[in-house]
Structure 1
Amino acid sequence: MSIWNLFSLVGGLAVFLFGMMEMNKHLTSIAGSKMKGIMLTLTKDKYRGYLTGLGITIVNQSSSATTVLEAALVGAGLMTFQQSLAVTLGAELGSTFLPQLVAFPSITKFSTFIVFIGFVLLISAKTKKSRHIGMTIFTFGLLFLGMDMMSSSLKPLRTYQPFIDLMKNVETPVLGIILGMLFTMIIQSSGATTGITIAMAMSGTISLEQAIPINLGAAVGTCITAVLGSITLNWEAKRSAYIHILFQLIGAFWVFILLSIPFQGERLYIWGIKWFTLHVLGTESLARQIAMGFTFMPVINHIIVFPNLKLIVKLFDRLFPEREAPKPFGPKYINNGLIGKSVELSLMMTRKEIIRVSEYIQEMISEMKVAFRSKNTEILGKFSELDSKVDILHKAIMTFLARLSQEELSSEESRRCMNYMYIQNELESIGDVIDKNIMVLAAKKIEKDLLFSEDGFHELEHLIYKVNKNFESLTAALRNDDSVEAMKVVNSYKDKDEEKYKEMHIGRLSKGLSESIATSSVHLDLISYFSRINSHIAYIAGRLTPADQQ
């Protein structure tokens, strides 16, 4: 093997790993902001949780990234440890998708063309999202280009005796597993390790018997990322990362057993892979056999783990017991046990729960200015998380009030019950306006690197200040049942600064101010959304005044 082959090998490895990491980053940027919401919505039972983990990992191409996100949600109390189990298992299977794709050797012939297409899309992109799409295609091509470079550079090793002797040792499963585990802990991607073994197979320098133990070790080694990602999180989040290791060790154990059983002159696991790829897939491709060997690992694991999940969790709880685990996020003050006991107490507890909702919305309003000052879209995730909490409480409160309204209520109790329904509905609408409208504009400003004019930004800051002050007064009126304070909020709404600021912005447009022109759509939409929030606030305040209590 010449020095030029070595240069080509390390260069190809660098191109492959860079393509893999960057493709993951840009795929996550395209869909990442939605993944948290998807995971929260679709993990209510283990089957949907499994499919969610599978789907998200196919998109972001990293089981580690999925389990890190999952651990963060468990740490925040938005997902339970039990819900996270199915997501973890689904992520394990999802991580085998890329190796299956990589196992199509013919794609490498088009790698340079894919790079070209990605480059054209990249240089012609007008928005940040289209740049992410261009970079995803560009790095996808780099991934296969790197594989082709590695495969070509490794061909001389087929006749290099020291390398042949080394790889014979790898056929011993334990050594191969250790090698794959250590390598994957360094590069933090089991899919990348499998891709590299497929590249070696395409060059004829590695056999199926050598690749399988390496990939088995890779499946265990990939857990390191989730463990590292959970270091700063609470104990329950750490447990969700640690059980990933236990699941992978269980799978590795059973595959190791199958590798240790001789069958028809081969190891049973190797024979099974060859039989499946030949008789089911109709191919004897070594690359496909390696990819299927990697996919069968989680499949076998899940066939064993799912029926015994309760027993495995019981064992895990002995090793890593719960420590005052955070309860799943939900209502603090209302529960079905109150229904039928005391209407007055039920209404009091409902008001306390609604005040809790208002506190989360207050936090969202207070952070809006920070979001528009920031140049990093990561801050927007906080708003999504707060809005998820508001939505959870909204559903619980409205369901509780609907049940309470079926009881025998006095006219005054019925009026309060309906009043709280209206108030809670308006609060939830404010949360949606902030998360689904205003934060979309914040993301647009960051992605397009827009800059408000100095006067324009001061005006927006004043509107945020006004919204914040009005909402603080509203919360105080709600907390203290203060109709006088509520009336002040209603009167404040009559002083509409929004129209004045729209006129001032249009005036700057007529003068041709470049910053105002560039940010015009964002600026005017923001003013409209702030006006909507103020109208919701005024409506709620109106519900707290004597005029609306008749």
Structure 2
Amino acid sequence: MKHLLNLLAAIALLVWGTHLVRTGVLRVFGANLRRILARSMGNRFTAALSGIGVTALVQSSTATSLMTSSFVGQGLITLPAALAVMRGADVGTALMSVFFSFDLSWLSPLFIFVGVVLFLSRQDATVGRIGRVLIGLGLMLLALRLVVDATEPLVAAPAVRALLSSLGSDVLLEITVGAVLAVAAYSSLAVVLLIAALAAASAVPLDVALGLVLGANLGSGLLAVLTTAKSPVEVRQVTVGNLFFKLLGVALLAPCIGLWLRHVQPMLADATSTVVLFHLAFNVAISLGFIGLTQLVARGVQKLLPKPEQPPSQMRLQHLDPSALSTPSLAISCAAREAMHQADVVETMLNGVLTVIKTNDLRLAEELRKMDDSVDELYSSIKYYLTKISREALAEEESRRWTDIISFTINMEQIGDIIERVLIDIEDKKIKKDRSFSEAGMAEITELHARLLDNLRLGMSVFLNGTVRDAQKLLEEKARFRDLERAYASTHLARLSDNTVQSIETSSLHIDLISDLKRINSHICSIAYPILDSAGALAPNRLRQPALAEQAER
């Protein structure tokens, strides 16, 4: 039992080390890796090369698959190009398994020591995240040695020998077991390295080990399909197409295990080399052999998983892609795009308010009020999506962006609520009572509304681009709007003094309306605060200074 627990702990350490490397690399280079993938789609060969490079860094073809699938879901790349990337991604994983197969155990304590020092010294900086990667690499190398040490006494047990010998009678069973291990470990790389270590310790025969390797390759494709099961069709097309290539490759090369053992294995130094080089040869063979079939497979997958037809009113790209959550920088971009759509809905509502005031259109007022439900749903969806992004996996800039998106969506949701209440007031106090604003009052409302729309569009630009100059301009508009609201309130009171009938009838609505427009403007202008705060451009709190002076006098 003790030896079994040691083996399980070593396997868990191997999987955890792989996870640390993957997440650490994505934190440091996530945005750059996305740009590399997006820019390399000119032809299938450059796309495959980018897949090799990205996967070699993140230590996971599954992570590359999810990243690429997200691009397809957002319409940034085509399905054939994504399938070409995946052909390279599998080769990248195989190359890393060859690298880790060398005796690098002497590097393990060095990587762990240096990684811990860097991580503890500056956790939130790039140096700390590089330290996290080094810790992961050190743990992987340590885990591989522990697997070998734990396997030797375990294999000596008769029961274990009987269990392992049962695998050697059925290639299909070996492939199934390998696939299950890859799905459970969330890493085909970790499983292939484990199989190589077991083969080196004579825990499994070589023919069984090669069958398990085929299963691990198949499992990585199945894992990506399971991870994107609830994603849009465009995303699932990538993972299903990649799984098809793996199924075809396993079916064609499984009979070649005997040929590999008979003709290639005698030329290799040890069992570890036999396993990892077979893994590499398998992926190179199916990548080179099938890269010309990406267009054909893409058409087949599109027929198998056609895009559902939607009525024109519902045809909108949903940006909150679940498969992007494994790449925090990509998920942040998805949330920002959905937040911009929420702002577009708010702009439509705000734009329609003036039309309702001028035309007394009850039907339009009802439609605009219903749009507030969409704003609330978008807010809830974005907030829930962001909570699924690990804050620990975010770089400092991405963490700040996470906060900005939350703040922006809250402001948009509150603006929607204010607009809904304004529309209800207009219906009850103006339309149903058949009242009208005075000509001067209507001009004031129109002026405030126009400024408000301009400020909303400027606020959306500030959120999207984070320009300090625009943020300062937006904050200046807050003071101008406040002064304008006070001036119009005063002129309205002057009209009441002149006994203007229309002003008297709509006085309550007029005062409430310009006050609500000022509140909306305050929410819009608050978009600028995080930008200016991070740039150190916020002026000192004017309320705090007199209080400090008063305390000093005391």
Measured against the shorter chain, the TM-score band is: 0.5 to 0.7
- Residues 52, 88 of structure 2: 8 Å contact kept: yes
Q: Does 1:117 align with 2:114?
A: yes
Gap change, CA 1:234 and 1:126, over 3 Å in 2: closer
Residues 75-96 of structure 1, C-alpha deviation per residue, up to 9 Å, x if partnerless?
1112221221111211121121
- Residues 72, 230 of structure 1: 8 Å contact kept: no
- Residues 15, 142 of structure 1: 8 Å contact kept: yes
Aligned residue pairs, count:
374
Structure 1, unaligned stretches of length 5 or more? 260-266, 326-362, 364-375, 387-441, 477-489, 499-518, 529-550
The alignment-based identity, stated in percent, is 19
Partner of 1:193: 191
Q: Does 1:176 align with 2:128?
A: no
- Residues 72, 233 of structure 1: 8 Å contact kept: no
Matches for 1:422-461 after TM superposition, within 5 Å: 444=396
CA distance in 2, matches of 1:35, 1:163: 44
- Of 87, 90, 98 in structure 1, the residue corresponding to residue 85 of structure 2 is 87
- Residues 192, 276 of structure 2: 8 Å contact kept: yes
CA distance in 1, matches of 2:49, 2:211: 27
Q: Does 1:296 align with 2:296?
A: no
Matches for 1:151-550 after TM superposition, within 5 Å: 151-171=148-168, 172-259=170-257, 267-274=258-265, 278=267, 283-321=268-306, 323=308, 380-382=332-334, 444=396, 470=454, 472=456, 523=533, 525=535, 527=537
Deviation at 1:287, TM superposition (A): 1.1
* Higher mean displacement: 154-163 or 242-251: 154-163
CA distance in 2, matches of 1:190, 1:141: 19
Q: TM-score, normalised by structure 2?
A: 0.58
CA distance in 1, matches of 2:70, 2:54: 15
Partner of 1:74: 72
Deviation at 1:220, TM superposition (A): 0.7
Please state whether the residue corresponding to 1:96 is helix, strand or coil: helix
Gap change, CA 1:56 and 1:446, over 3 Å in 2: closer
CA distance in 2, matches of 1:72, 1:520: 28
Residues 120-161 of structure 1, C-alpha deviation per residue, up to 9 Å, x if partnerless?
222222643222111110121111111211210111244333
CA distance in 2, matches of 1:48, 1:274: 32
Partner of 1:33: 31
CA distance in 1, matches of 2:451, 2:241: 45
Deviation at 1:314, TM superposition (A): 4.6
Q: TM-score, normalised by structure 1?
A: 0.59
Deviation at 1:497, TM superposition (A): 7.7
Whichever of the two has the greater Rg, that structure is 2
CA distance in 2, matches of 1:377, 1:467: 34
Gap change, CA 1:125 and 1:320, over 3 Å in 2: same
Deviation at 1:65, TM superposition (A): 1.1
Residues 359-392 of structure 1, C-alpha deviation per residue, up to 9 Å, x if partnerless?
xxxx9xxxxxxxxxxxx86664248879xxxxxx
Deviation at 1:30, TM superposition (A): 1.2
Deviation at 1:301, TM superposition (A): 1.1
Deviation at 1:53, TM superposition (A): 1.5
Partner of 1:515: none
CA distance in 1, matches of 2:293, 2:399: 47
Q: Does 1:137 align with 2:134?
A: yes
Deviation at 1:447, TM superposition (A): 5.6
Q: Name the amino acid aligned to 1:210.
A: V
CA distance in 2, matches of 1:467, 1:188: 53
CA distance in 2, matches of 1:288, 1:467: 71
- Residues 80, 295 of structure 2: 8 Å contact kept: no
Structure 2, unaligned stretches of length 5 or more? 311-318, 320-327, 339-393, 416-449, 461-469, 479-528, 539-554
Gap change, CA 1:307 and 1:139, over 3 Å in 2: closer
Partner of 1:534: none
CA distance in 1, matches of 2:297, 2:403: 54
Please state whether the residue corresponding to 1:256 is helix, strand or coil: helix
Residues 45-66 of structure 1, C-alpha deviation per residue, up to 9 Å, x if partnerless?
2111111211111111111111
Q: Name the amino acid aligned to 2:30.
A: G
